[in-house]
Chains A and B, each alone.
Chain A
């Protein structure tokens, strides 16, 4: 995805769609039962990836788990989301965004120390949630400002400085969401996924609480 510009909410969503490459694959209730996540994620979790150590990956797992914890479906940690985040930052982020992300990890830990007297890893779960909720609100304010800027000049996107500020938590949340929902756990447990639907129902009934049929990607 190689982020190059700050994005509005709409663009953030488009970017995630592009990131996913836009195709449907088969899962394999029948064909490919219980295929593991990619070897790259396993390696990243065990040995680190790029400049991310195994401890960094564990830290990212905690961030992702705080955003997407275990409920009646497994959470982000079980889906090895931290390893995916580290891999994507290493392979797909421009140097500037890599820096924002790395600095963000440090800043988040410092903020946790300041506010709760504990590192993020050592903080209590409700402290982690409170911290991320505050960061999430900052992130959302940044997106809202960009949206307002865009609306004022629609349809042409406004020129944006390449060095416009980007909140690190935007990057973290985005990668956590992508990493979780495109994992095997995301496809098969958080959502519903059928490799080969075999038929198309253009108007199927839907009840509240029923999960997404995972789309192509």
Chain B
């Protein structure tokens, strides 16, 4: 064990969406910050190795091989396993975990984390969401309301750059948007018919962290829709494009890669975390770094893993476990069901450019006094588009006329997938599996998580409501689907260190401080007290920025 002589004001563990925001806010507010990242560096633009590669240059044209499936037994379960950005997904073999029940955990262990890979859909949570647990007596109340977070949504939206439309919907608050990426002509028609038929249902442009107007150092979207290879224009929000540059520009940021945090060192006299123990992923050496404030932004399950391994001499369950809730209430968004159909006509219309988003249908169930046989609700993400050559695999035909016909756009199709809220449930939990270690000898997580009756009941509406809207809008051959869902597939892991109002029932307070150790802040998805049905990353950004500002004030006041 080496003790690092250099000290920092703050240590940020993790460099993804939350860690990047913590580093930016803390350095800009004058702190000297050490950012620890367990994986390799990926430098903005320079290290986007495949972004300039032509599609036909990949031997398997982007597809998956048996060797890839063998190497990635978890990743292969859904779309992330592919030939084009495989290096940016964590190795299932190096970093295994135990599935007490099936849980798909898709991770990005490198600078930027999943901010390089995310779907970029960005929606605010409103009081419909922050107040839901209290209204319904589910789990515990959020310690914040929309008015507390709204200014921070403003703050992060302006910097990150979210394109979207102002809709004035109470269930989905508007924000500080750049111009939206418009609906296409068929989507417009469907949106109009759905609005006139169903009143409360809206089809709006997807709100997405892709710029439609340049920001300092970043270009506007060029409509390549190749985001997950890294954008050479910096047009979508990532740590690399958006939060790391200003943090670095302060001259107060130190980034250390290949730095696996094994635990926090707790000073029981001062009731503060004193330092962070780091295992060098390459050399195996352990080093201890001390700081006055620690931001845990290591991703939902990994931040809790670190807490569970810390201060075990005081709390056997780890730092922040005194409530008995650390590791519990794991959530995701359940999805993979919806409907689609054909939309005839409009064959003189097409789109130019590849829009990196689609439409969004904000939640409309269980609003305004409606009571379904389940709680909460769901939103949809979808699009209308003309079919490509892929339709040829389902058509009869051989020869030149067939080939030339398939090289022309086919009829319009429209479809959408629902993303549903998953209720917090104490029984959905993670723990440390001491019998199994990863490549670095660290004990791994065991995950025990399942959806329940509420989600099951909701899924019927998730399918049928979309079919009903498509039919009302004039689509034909409408069919519903439920492609089955396993927790984790949404890649929206949330909970396991929830915020709350009472240290007896929650891990974090209303400022994301660990109740039991107030110089440790957890601001990634671990903190969520409920999942809502909107994509959660924007909320992590806002909570992180808010907690960072608070931490700096508390330091100045001498409270930390």
Contacts and interface: CB of A to CB of B under 8 A. Distances in A.
Contacts of A19: 61-64
Contact of A202 (B62, B182, B392): B182
A214 B406 CA distance: 12
A217 B391 contact: no
Given A38-B58, A129-B399, 4 more contacts: A92-B64, A190-B403, A191-B389, A203-B351
A2 B66 CA distance: 6
Contacts of A156: 482
Interface stretch (A61-69, A99-107, A109-117, A160-168): A61-69
Interface stretch (B11-19, B223-231, B281-289): B223-231
A78 interface: no
B400 interface: yes
* List of 9 A-B pairs having minimum Cβ-Cβ separation, nearest first: A21-B62, A21-B82, A9-B394, A200-B353, A206-B350, A197-B353, A40-B59, A203-B185, A201-B352
Interface-central residue, A92, A179, A180, by most chain B CB under 10 Å: A92
B352 A27 contact: no
Interface residues of B, number: 75
Given A26-B51, A71-B403, A198 B394 contact: no
Contact of B56 (A187, A208, A211): A187
A56 interface: no
B75 to A, nearest CB: 12
B396 A140 contact: yes
Interface of B: 50-67, 69, 79, 82-85, 181-185, 187-188, 221-229, 337, 347-355, 386, 388-394, 396-400, 402-404, 406-409, 463, 479-482
A181 B54 CA distance: 13
30 contacts: A9-B394, A20-B62, A20-B63, A21-B83, A23-B82, A23-B229, A24-B226, A25-B53, A32-B54, A67-B398, A91-B66, A136-B398, A154-B479, A155-B337, A155-B479, A155-B482, A181-B406, A187-B55, A191-B407, A195-B54, A198-B353, A199-B353, A200-B223, A201-B352, A202-B355, A203-B351, A206-B349, A208-B347, A213-B409, A217-B61
A21 B225 contact: no
Interface of A: 1-2, 9-10, 12-13, 16-28, 31-32, 35, 37-41, 66-73, 75, 84, 87-88, 91-94, 129, 132-133, 136-137, 140, 143, 154-156, 173-174, 177-184, 186-187, 190-191, 195-217
B56 A182 contact: yes
Nearest to A201: B352
B180 to A, nearest CB: 10
Contacts, number: 261
Given A41-B59, A182-B56, A200-B351, A216 B394 contact: no
Contacts of B53: 25-26
A27 B55 contact: yes
A12 B348 contact: no
B229 A25 contact: yes
A124 to B, nearest CB: 14
Nearest to B62: A21
